[in-house]
Amino acid sequence: MTHNSLLNLLRGRFAAAIAKLAGDDPSSVDPQLRAAGEPRFGDYQCNAAMALAKLLGAKPRDVAQQIVAAVDLAEDGVSVVEPLEIAGPGFINIRLSNAFLGRYLCEIPAPPAASPTAPPTADGAAPDRSEQRGALRTGWQASLADRLGMPPVSRPQRIVLDYSSPNIAKQMHVGHLRGTILGDCLARTLEFVGHTVIRQNHVGDWGTQFGKLIAWYTEHPVPAGDDSDAVLDAIEADYRAANKRFDADPAFAAAARQAVGRLQGGDAAAREIWQRLYAQSQRAFNEVYARLGATLTDADIRGESFYNDRLAATVDELRRRFSPRGGAEAQTGPRMEVREDQGALCVFLYDTTGQPCFRNAEGGEFPIMIQKSDGAFLYASTDLAAVRYRVQELKADRVIYVIGNEQSRHLQMLFMAARLAGWAPERVRLEHAGHGLVLGPDGKKLTGRHGGSVHLRALLDEAVERARALMEEIDRRREGDETAATLDDEERRRVAACVGIGAVKYADLSHDRNTDYRFDWDKLLALKGNTAPYMLYAYARIRSIYRRAAERAGTIEPYGREAALELGEPAERALALRLARFRETIEVVAADLTPNVLCGYLYELAGDFMRFYEACPVLAAPDESTRLARMRMCDLSARTLKLGLGLLGIETVERM
């Protein structure tokens, strides 16, 4: 029974009933099963009667009656639901029975023994060696060891996940931060669900800008030093200087152009400089990843340079197969054409009616530029080579690009070209998991103090600092509360790191990823609302309630894990239903790539728990079996929160 989410279980039962009524017509079988919009309509609804009535030429309410009569909702001798109700034109309202709900939750197995919690970012240290991050990855996997009985999907996919992808010789910006946080949550979730996730950090490490840098550093030393942040600042300043000189000094400009060719041709001196820039940049990125607890390792880097020796073949193939003069392949439906435009080689995309699919602001055709007149390849050429590599060599079933929405047109064009070239057959899903901007308090794109780049390290430091202040406030507020935790300095540091970093991550994850959001310290660190501090506090509180109850009973964990659940109290039932819906929530997040849905779920769960705790005292329960049942609810609530937060990439703390 635990092998299925509630939604899937009901969907299966109703689909079978509808199939019986509809005969062989499979088009009508979708049971249109969804969660009820309001509690008065039950827990779920089946809205298939209307469509089925059309098919059968009958009245929807009559068909709803027939579905109700035909559906088998027994499970091991109990009815899954209360008697079904038909509402309005033929909606079937479904309310799960308490007996079933209680048993469904009771089938969640105890957590596997000794699941060590990961040590990663908690102390705020910034290890920068990749072995350490390897350890970190194992650490987080262990923290997801308690699967709450969720089996892995029966048909695992190979999913290529392109995320983070900063550019070397530059600071990572908040867009990269958002992409890293979102991508990492998706990586964890998809892996947890049972898929094979192949992380690809498509680092911007190639292109003409390196010509200028190499020419510059042929005359100056590459900045170095302990402080990776300062080193990147210095490199950025040098780049600005090199750019100025490029415009003013023809000899330097010539040297820079030449350097691009030298680098791409493998010249040792040019490569040396590039490698140094790489090493400095990578160190800074890794510091940020470590602070965030991101699961990216050096092995996940497949930067633009990786595709260098595939670019010519990629572009040549397109030219050969799709240029109008070269006897282009016959194409029916949408098609593409490769031809020169103002000296550059471009891919033009047309719809079935022959109209250009993409236009520029002036209304002209907007192509993908794949090779400049001087022979240089571009961002899009690399992406074309990459999509081919991902499908053909990495054998992806699904390729997900976690990139800002500014690039959505680039990706639409890329996907269309890859399809038309036959490099990505229809069975492979290509997806842009786009995201909006992070805005400053002024509502404009978030920038650093002087309008320059935001220093992510400073931002994360500030988050931890503010979290520490928040904890002092918590202490003041609950003076006299016997549940109050007393933390030593060490623990306090750890908690502040979890809360501070967690708050930054949660802010990214809890917003619909497609929308822009305002980065507001007070909001993201608020102790009330859909925030990390609230969630972490709720978790720590449930744990403390559980611990105290166990102590009072003179026992230790696990206590109450075997208790039967009656769910007589409405608040208790509401919490039980919420807990049971964790599975379908994860299924949605994995299918739609929507971490905010998980955040919303966890927030509701925390609220349901608080209402439960108010209505159903645990310590002061009227009798022993009730207390045990309530403790079991505490245990399940805490474990669900911990797992959910773990999927978001947020470490929980036992006390706060």
> Does residue 204 interact with ligand ARG by CB under 6 A?
yes
Residue tagged 């109050």 (tokens): 484
Closer of 202 and 511 to ligand ARG (Cβ): 202
Query: Which of positions 131-190 make contact with ligand ARG (CB under 6 A)?
Result: 162, 165-167
Both tokens assigned to 237: 């300043």
Contacts of 292 (CB under 8 A, 6+ apart): 121, 177, 180, 181, 184, 460, 501, 505, 649
Smallest distance from the beta carbon of 162 to ligand ARG, in angstroms? 5
Query: Which of positions 44-83 make contact with ligand ARG (CB under 6 A)?
Result: none
Smallest distance from the beta carbon of 176 to ligand ARG, in angstroms? 6
Closer of 335 and 398 to ligand ARG (Cβ): 398
Closer of 115 and 405 to ligand ARG (Cβ): 405
Closer of 174 and 650 to ligand ARG (Cβ): 174
Question: Site for ligand ARG (CB under 6 A): how many residues?
Answer: 10
Q: Is the peptide bond before 570 cis (omega within 30 degrees of 0)?
A: no
Smallest distance from the beta carbon of 275 to ligand ARG, in angstroms? 19
Closer of 165 and 280 to ligand ARG (Cβ): 165
CA separation for the pair 216, 16 (Å, rounded): 70
Query: β-pairing, 438-439 with 429-432?
Result: unpaired
Smallest distance from the beta carbon of 502 to ligand ARG, in angstroms? 25
Residue 424: which of 390, 449, 455, 453 has the closest Cα?
Answer: 390
Contacts of 438 (CB under 8 A, 6+ apart): 174, 175, 177, 178, 445, 446, 508, 516, 517, 519
Residue 584: which of 14, 30, 43 has the closest Cα?
Answer: 43
Contacts of 54 (CB under 8 A, 6+ apart): none
> Does residue 202 interact with ligand ARG by CB under 6 A?
yes
Query: Which of positions 106-125 make contact with ligand ARG (CB under 6 A)?
Result: none
68, 11 in Cβ contact below 8 A? no
DSSP state of 575: H
Query: β-pairing, 91-94 with 78-79?
Result: unpaired
Closer of 289 and 537 to ligand ARG (Cβ): 289
Closer of 46 and 454 to ligand ARG (Cβ): 454
Contacts of 129 (CB under 8 A, 6+ apart): none
Closer of 202 and 245 to ligand ARG (Cβ): 202
Smallest distance from the beta carbon of 132 to ligand ARG, in angstroms? 25
Smallest distance from the beta carbon of 410 to ligand ARG, in angstroms? 7
Smallest distance from the beta carbon of 314 to ligand ARG, in angstroms? 14
Task: Report the C-alpha dihedral over residues 7, 8, 10, 14, rounded to 10 degrees.
Answer: 130
Smallest distance from the beta carbon of 414 to ligand ARG, in angstroms? 8
Query: Which of positions 368-407 make contact with ligand ARG (CB under 6 A)?
Result: 383, 386, 401, 403
> Does residue 281 interact with ligand ARG by CB under 6 A?
no
Query: Which of positions 403-462 make contact with ligand ARG (CB under 6 A)?
Result: 403
> Does residue 502 interact with ligand ARG by CB under 6 A?
no
Rg (CA), the chain: 28
Smallest distance from the beta carbon of 519 to ligand ARG, in angstroms? 19
Q: Which residues bind ligand ARG (CB under 6 A)?
A: 162, 165-167, 202, 204, 383, 386, 401, 403
